[in-house]
Amino acid sequence: MSLMSLLEKITGKQKQREKARIDDFRTLVRTIGAGKEPDADQVERILVITGKSVEDVQAAVELYQQRFALRTQLNSLPKLAAERKEIEQQMAKANEALEEAERQHEETMNPLISQHEIVRQAMQEAERARQQLVETCPFDELCEKSADLQRRHVQANDQAFKLRQTISDCRAWARTDRANAVHATSAHGSQDRSTRADRRDAHATQCEKELAEVMKQIASLEIRCRLSVTRCSSRSCKRRPQFLGGTVARDVL
C-alpha cells in the first residue's frame, strides 16, 4: 500500500469518526429537546468524544426547540392558506348577497320615498289650512279656550321636562353618594353619604309619581286641544247674522 493510499484511508476514517460524533451529539440534542431523558453515561461519553460542555448541550437544545416550533408553524401554512381561501369565498358570497339585497332595497325604497315626500307635503298643506281656519275662527270664546288649552299644554310639558331632569339628577347624585360612601375614610362620612343618597332617591321617587300625574294631564290636554282645534276649524263654526251699521253680516265660515 502506498503512502498516499494510507493517508487517504486515515483521512476517511477520521471523517467517519467526526461524522459519527456529530450525529451522536445531534441525536442527544433531539432526544432532550423532545422531552426525553437520555442515559447519563451515554451523555457523558458523547460530551467527552465531541469535546462539548453541558452549556453547549443546553444552548443546542434551546436552538433545536426554537427551530422545531418555527418548523411546526411553517408546516401549518398550507392548511391556513386553504382555510383563508374558504373564508374568502364565503366573504365573496356574503358580499354578493349584500349587493343584491341593497339593490332590491333601493328598488323598493325609491318609489316609497317619493310617495312619502308627496304625502308629507300634502300633510303640511293640510296642517297650514287647519291653522288658517283656527286663526280665522269668528268665535272669540272658542279661540280663547283653544289658546288657554295650548298654554296649559306647554306648561305641562315644561313641568314634565323639569321633573325628568330632577329625577335623572337625583338618581345620578344618589349613585355617586353611595359610591363615595364605600370609599369614605370614616364611618360618620359613610353614613352621611348613604343618608343623603336615600333622601335623593326618595325625592326622585316622589318626582316620578308627580311625573305620572303630569303625563296624564298632558294626554288629556292633547285630546282637548285637538277637539278645540277641530271645533275652531269646522264648517259648523259659523257666526250668526249680526246687524252692523244697518247691514247684515253674512255667515263667516
> pLDDT tens digit string along 136-195?
766 677 777 777 888 888 899 999 999 999 999 999 999 999 998 888 888 888 899 999
Confidence of residue 240 (pLDDT cuts 50, 70, 90): very low
Number of domains the chain is built from = 3
CA 223 to chain centre: 39
For residues 99 and 16, membership in a common domain is answered with no
**In contact, 192 and 200? CB cutoff 8 Å:** no
Residue 222 lies in a domain: yes
Q: Stretch 207-227: mean pLDDT, rounded? A: 89
Least confident of 33-42, 103-112, 149-158, 205-214: 33-42
* Residue 82 is assigned to a structural domain of this protein: no
52 and 119 within one domain: no
Domain end residue (candidates: 48, 75, 102): 75
For 95, 102, 105, 209, the CA distances from 99, given in Å and listed in that order, are: 6, 5, 10, 51
Domain with 170, as residue range(s), is: 140-248
Question: Are 130 and 217 found together in one domain?
Answer: no
209 and 123, same domain (yes or no): no
User: Is residue 13 in some structural domain?
Assistant: yes
d(CA 137, CA 143) in angstroms, rounded, equals 7
pTM of the entire predicted model:
0.42
| The pLDDT of residue 130 | 67
Looking at the structure, do residues 14 and 99 belong to the same domain, yes or no?
no
Examine residue 63 and state whether it is found in any structural domain, yes or no. yes
